[in-house]
Amino acid sequence: MGRLGYQSDAQATLSVSCNSLESYSASLHDALTRPYPPYEALGIRGPDGEYRQLATTLLQIENEFYGTIRPKRIIRPGERPMHALRERGVEYIEVRCMDLDPFEPVGIGAGTIRFLDVFLLHCLLTDSPPDTPAEIAALARNQHRTAERGREPDLQLERGTRSVTIAEWGAQLLDQCAPIAEALDAAEGGNSHASALASAAVALRDPERLPSARVLQAMRSAHEGSHIGFVKACSERTKENLMQRALPADVQTRLERQARESAVEQQRIEAADTVPFEEFRRQYVSPQRLVV
């Protein structure tokens, strides 16, 4: 989520408010219907007739919005995500700032998942004043600073009218999360949530415990500083780990049946499709499809 990552210069002008579903959808509605001159200059199709893009608006479709967390709802066939949200509300939220953990075969560890549960409940239960364009801009700057220099304990972030170090702010958040972790452990038994929170606190105090530090250490010690060598070794180790885990026979049979059924359903859908793509495209990106 830093400047070297998945970014869009066009979206730098976006100020999406999360005060309510109405304000969120209004912000995105504007971006999905506002013409964007560089995209207009590019055009829908090139001289060869091949499609270059779906539309010439700032956002062509809802999933282009690179938010850190997005409210979502399962859509019906052909339905726009914005229409689904406006008509039936938020069904789940999509947490989008999680890097894959190269030291975990499936990309994320149980402790990290439990920490996320605690943190998201903290977000839900903690009072938050309405956001403003100034705060949204400050959050974007904090995000970029953290992505670039987040391992520096004295990194300064903007918090209202003052500055605070990332370590201090993080420690305050973890303290506020403690009662939630205790409540979850009391309900489920054990201390797995409190343990996940404690591990996060240790990593916050000692940046050498962070995944980024572990990656750098592995690169230096085993791969002559090569990130490509490190990633290749992780990929081979993960493949070996997963290939050693044989699927139960009933699961194998079920997956093979679902694969066959999916191929048959694809053929049925394609055979029933009579609308030319250009007509479908115009209908799909029409602003009327965004509203209830």
* pTM score, whole prediction: 0.84
In this prediction, residue 79 carries a pLDDT of 94
With a CB cutoff of 8 Å and minimum separation 6, the contacts of 55 are 39, 44, 61, 285
> Which has more pLDDT, 138 or 150?
138
Lowest mean pLDDT among 7-16, 152-161, 165-174: 7-16
In this prediction, residue 150 carries a pLDDT of 86
- Mean of the pLDDT values across residues 251-275? 95
- Mean of the pLDDT values across residues 282-287? 94
Q: Is residue 63 part of a domain?
A: no
In this prediction, residue 1 carries a pLDDT of 63
Q: Is residue 134 part of a domain?
A: yes
Radius of gyration of the chain (CA): 23
In this prediction, residue 186 carries a pLDDT of 98
> Which has more pLDDT, 152 or 4?
152
The domain of 117 spans: 109-206
| Mean pLDDT score of the chain | 92
Q: Is residue 247 part of a domain?
A: no
**Angstrom distance (rounded) from CA 116 to CA 258:** 32
> Which has more pLDDT, 15 or 82?
82
Query: Is 85's pLDDT higher than 70?
Result: yes
Q: What DSSP line would sit under the chain, residue for residue? A: --TTSS--GGGGG-----SSHHHHHHHHHHHHHSB-HHHHHH-SB-TTS-B--S-SBSSSSGGG---SEEEE-PPPTT--HHHHHHHH---EEEE--PPP-TTSTTSS-HHHHHHHHHHHHHHHHS--PPP-HHHHHHHHHHHHHHHHHTT-TT-EEEETTEEEEHHHHHHHHHHHHHHHHHHHHHHHSSSHHHHHHHHHHHHHH-GGGSHHHHHHHHHHHHSTT-HHHHHHHHHHHHHHHHHTSPPPHHHHHHHHHHHHHHHHHHHHHHHH--S-HHHHHHHHT-GGGG--
- Mean of the pLDDT values across residues 22-28? 93
Q: Is residue 26 part of a domain?
A: no
Query: Is 162's pLDDT higher than 70?
Result: yes
Q: Is residue 19 part of a domain?
A: no
Query: Is 9's pLDDT higher than 90?
Result: no
In this prediction, residue 208 carries a pLDDT of 87
% of the chain residues with pLDDT over 70: 99
Identity (one letter) of the amino acid at 64? Answer: E
- Mean of the pLDDT values across residues 88-100? 89
In this prediction, residue 237 carries a pLDDT of 95
**Angstrom distance (rounded) from CA 55 to CA 35:** 9
Q: Is residue 212 part of a domain?
A: no
Lowest mean pLDDT among 95-99, 158-162, 204-208, 275-279: 95-99
In this prediction, residue 199 carries a pLDDT of 95
In this prediction, residue 163 carries a pLDDT of 96
What's the structural domain count of the chain?
Answer: 1
Q: Is residue 211 part of a domain?
A: no
Q: Is residue 30 part of a domain?
A: no
Query: Is 158's pLDDT higher than 80?
Result: yes
